[in-house]
Structure 1
Amino acid sequence: MVAANELKAGMTFETDGKLLRVLEASHHKPGKGNTIMRMKLRDVRSGSTFDTSYRPEEKFDQAIIETHNAQYLYKMDDTAYFMDNETYDQYEIPVANVENELKFILENAEVKIQFFGSEVIGVQVPTTVVLEVAETQPSIKGATVTGSGKPAIMETGLVVNVPDFIEVGQKLEINTETSAYLKRA
């Protein structure tokens, strides 16, 4: 059991038959009354997100999530296909459940498949990935790192704000948690 005030972003818990992942969690102390925990949660099975609040002392069953190394094979229609690196088992995951993660991975990339019991519930991507710029505005002569930046579309379709000197074809290191440009690779 885990108390609501111990839940942090990335943790998964069960309540009312639902498997929920914490996207954001914060303490809120209104002018009057007791502290509450405001949370943005994602239903792991349906992919829907919602905001809610809990009393800090409320308790939940923490979900035990196992991970297995896998390879992203391809996406067809509304299904993404992955293969376990050890057993060569293939897993099909609805694109709606891993839509955000697919923006960071290319075909044949190494990822971790997340399991709740025998149920495949998601994909864990590395903290940083290297992606190539597919489309952006031309670079500006004399542009510096401190400029306001410009949007760049990466090879996976992810849109990232990058410095003005970045050009099409360059490989960039991207933080998968914040979708932010880190540096040239």
Structure 2
Amino acid sequence: MKVIASSLRKGAVVDMEGRLYVVLTAENIHPGKGTPVTQLNMRRISDGVKVSERWRTTEQVERAFVDDRNFTFLYQDGEGFHFMNPETYDQVVCSPEIVGEAAPWLQDGMIVMLSTHDGVPIALELPRLLTLEITETEPAVKNQTASSSYKPAILSNGARIMVPPYIAAGTRVVVLTEDFSYHERAKD
């Protein structure tokens, strides 16, 4: 199926000369003069080679037919990351290369969007927002406002993020999975 290059987003699968590529980053660039272009950083699914392509935003790109379904994360072992289709109870195993930087963010029972091509997992998309607890951070300093600089914090999954100065250890926060940054304090 042909789509315009500017409509491609992270996680989309593109077919170039019979090879499948998953989009890692997509950026639309609009220079002051000249034609707007779409810059895509992609990973070839067959061997993991990363490539960078640039197309005019109106050019047609072949998008591969991919089955996107919700899967439940079960566990990780030496074989890989195990997911289950909640409708059919079929299980699939994803390699660490496919899970990539999402690995530390996976939690038991988490619903993720798994893209498969001919029954083989090729890409994984986390939920947009995740709620985690801060396990360690510097103490809050009096008279410090939210507009000042952020401070480092360690989450319950071991990941490091930057949080506002008023956030203390034990606070539950919402993390934006697009760039793994602090979004807000959890409402619960």
Q: TM-score, normalised by structure 1?
A: 0.83
Q: Secondary structure at the match of 1:86?
A: coil
Aligned residue runs from structure 1 range 61-100, under 5 A? 61-77=62-78, 79-100=80-101
1:112 aligns to 2:113 (yes or no): yes
1:61 aligned partner, one-letter code: E
1:127 corresponds to which residue? 128
Q: Secondary structure at the match of 1:103?
A: helix
Structure 2 CA distance for partners of 1:45 and 1:164, relative to 1, 3 Å: farther
**Residue 181 of structure 1: how far off its partner (Å):** 0.9
Alpha carbons 2:134, 2:168 under 8 Å: kept = yes
Structure 1 segments unaligned to the other structure (5+ residues): none
2:28 corresponds to which residue? 26
Structure 2 segments unaligned to the other structure (5+ residues): none
2:185 corresponds to which residue? 184
Superposition CA RMSD, Å:
2.6
Alpha carbons 1:175, 1:181 under 8 Å: kept = yes
1:12 corresponds to which residue? 13
**Residue 6 of structure 1: how far off its partner (Å):** 3.5
2:164 corresponds to which residue? 163
**Residue 127 of structure 1: how far off its partner (Å):** 0.9
Structure 2 CA distance for partners of 1:156 and 1:66, relative to 1, 3 Å: same
2:71 aligned partner, one-letter code: A
Moved more, 73-82 or 172-181: 73-82
1:2 corresponds to which residue? 2
Task: Among all aligned residue pairs of Structure 1 and Structure 2, give the percentage whose two residues are the same amino acid.
Answer: 26
Q: Secondary structure at the match of 2:144?
A: coil
User: For 1:53-92, what per-residue CA distance to the aligned partner results, in whole angstroms no more than 9, with x for missing partners?
Assistant: 2355654321122222221112224611112212222211
Structure 2 CA distance for partners of 1:27 and 1:97, relative to 1, 3 Å: same
Structure 2 CA distance for partners of 1:46 and 1:155, relative to 1, 3 Å: farther
**Residue 8 of structure 1: how far off its partner (Å):** 2.5
Distance in 2 of aligned mates of 1:134 and 1:80: 25
